[in-house]
Amino acid sequence: MEKQKRNFLDVIRKLPIESHTLLLIIILILVIIFFSIVNADKGFLSARSVNSMGIQLAEIGILAIAMMVTSLVGGINLSVNATANLGAVLSGYYLYKLFPPPPTGGIAAIFTQINMPESVDPFILVVALLIPLVVGVISGILNGYLVGYIGVPPILATLATMSLFTGLAAGLTKGRTITGFPTQFEFVANQSLLGIPLPFLIFVVLTGITFVLLNRTTFGFKMRMLGTNEVASRFSGINNKDVIMKTYIYSGFLSSIAGIIVMSRTMSAAYEYGATTYVLLTILIGVLAGIQGGFGNVINIFISMLILQGLSTGFQMLLQGVRGSAFFKDFSWGVLMLIIFVINFFTRKSDRKSAKS
């Protein structure tokens, strides 16, 4: 019996995946099985439910990758959500300045309505879609400069830029939500390809690109090297500043894509969209996925995202009609994280023991 057990553990150790990925996959399977059984009558795995899950998890998932690449180089990027919102807001602001509403039509003070004409120059639409991406890159340059070149601790530098971007978006819109985006923009969030919602496809593609970047390129190696040991990386001839700068630019770029998806899904832009929860949620996903400076796999982010979305949708279905059912997910996420911490603690302990013997 004892021998068999050890053999089983050996097999697991020899699998070509990390133990943490395996743990996450097991949890994901458990979550899916559990909710498929208890929510069988409500259709947890029905096409409609899976589709809506796919749309919801894409925007946070992309922000989580944006957060993850910075964690990998030993940093953090608190400004991911602020960057996403600023990009969308500036795009809306540009359209609003081009097509202001007629002066007499006083719209309620909480909205700023873009007065889109029937037909519009496609060039303008392209510019409106490019603005967020440019904002993302600029935000990355600013963060990268502060962290890499000036040497401000990442948590402070990005806390500052988060405040800066949120404030800029709030100031420009006077705290209002911009609405009335051109209907052509709807295609990003409301289209599907082969039955799969486009945002989810974008998320999958970005996960793939990031995977290749991190695991198959020298730049990814440099990133992990820098995250593991800054000094060793510098002395092995890596230009730390340059790596940090490029990492933050990539992070900002990813954030702005998430911003475009939100803009397209809600057809609006607001400085405060997701402000209270999104940033911490993306860090939470990173921690759940076991991302640390130098270590971590973007696949883990993807699986963690599926787990969190599964728990969220699953509990909401299960507790339908119960007061405050939408909030049980937060509780379950927190508890799940603590459980994973404890499991990791014991696996690490047993790993160390077996290494000793």
Partner 1 sequence: MIKKLVKSNEFIPLVIIIVLSLVVGLINPNFLTIATLFDLVRASNVYIILALALLPVVILGGVDISFVAIAAVASYSTHMFLLARGYQGGMLTYVIMACAIGAFAGLFNAFFVNKFKLPIFDVSLATQTMWYGFTLFFVGATSNFDIPEGLVGYYARYLTRVSDPITGETGLHISILYVIVIAIFLWWFLKYTMIGRGIYAIGGNKEVAERTGFNINRIHLVVFLIMGVLSGFAGVLQGSFSRNFNPTLFIGQNLDVLAAIILGGAAIKGGRGTVIGTILGVVLTQIINRALVLTQIPAEWQKFVVGLILIIFTSIPAIKENRKKQVGRTTELVEVTVAE
CA distance linking residue 203 with residue 62, whole number of Å: 6
Using rule CB under 8 A, residue 19 touches partner 1: no
SS3 label, residue 113: strand
Choose between 44 and 165: whose C-beta lies nearer to partner 1: 165
CB 272, min distance to partner 1, A: 9
Residue 213, amino acid:
L
Q: Could you say which residues in the range 59-98 bind partner 1, by CB under 8 A?
A: 78
How many C-beta neighbours within 10 Å does residue 308 have?
24
Using rule CB under 8 A, residue 262 touches partner 1: no
* Number of amino acids touching partner 1 (CB under 8 A): 50
Note whether 95 and 181 are within 8 A (CB): yes
Using rule CB under 8 A, residue 331 touches partner 1: yes
> Which residues of the chain form beta strands (DSSP E)?
111-113, 177-179, 192-193, 196-197, 268-269
CB 73, min distance to partner 1, A: 17
CB 164, min distance to partner 1, A: 3
Q: Which two tokens stand for residue 78?
A: 């608190």
Choose between 129 and 172: whose C-beta lies nearer to partner 1: 172
Using rule CB under 8 A, residue 11 touches partner 1: no
Using rule CB under 8 A, residue 43 touches partner 1: no
Contact mark string toward partner 1, 132..171, x via CB under 8 A: --------------x---xxxx-xxx-xxxxxxxxxx-xx
**Packing angle between helix 47-72 and helix 278-288, nearest 10 degrees?**
80
Q: Which two tokens stand for residue 48?
A: 């409609």
Using rule CB under 8 A, residue 333 touches partner 1: yes
Using rule CB under 8 A, residue 173 touches partner 1: yes
Q: What angle do CA 212, 289, 63 make, to 5 degrees?
A: 70
- Judged by CB under 8 A, the residue of 175, 229, 242, 318 near partner 1 is 175
Contact mark string toward partner 1, 265..294, x via CB under 8 A: ------x---xxx-xx--xx--x-------
Choose between 8 and 327: whose C-beta lies nearer to partner 1: 327
Residue 354, amino acid:
S
Residue 24, CB half-sphere, CA atoms under 13 Å: how many?
27
CA distance linking residue 26 with residue 21, whole number of Å: 9
Strand-pair partners of 165? none
Note whether 260 and 129 are within 8 A (CB): yes
DSSP label at residue 15 = S
Choose between 226 and 257: whose C-beta lies nearer to partner 1: 226
Residues that bind partner 1 (CB under 8 A): 78, 146, 150-153, 155-157, 159-168, 170-171, 173-175, 271, 275-277, 279-280, 283-284, 287, 323-325, 327-335, 337-338, 341-342, 345
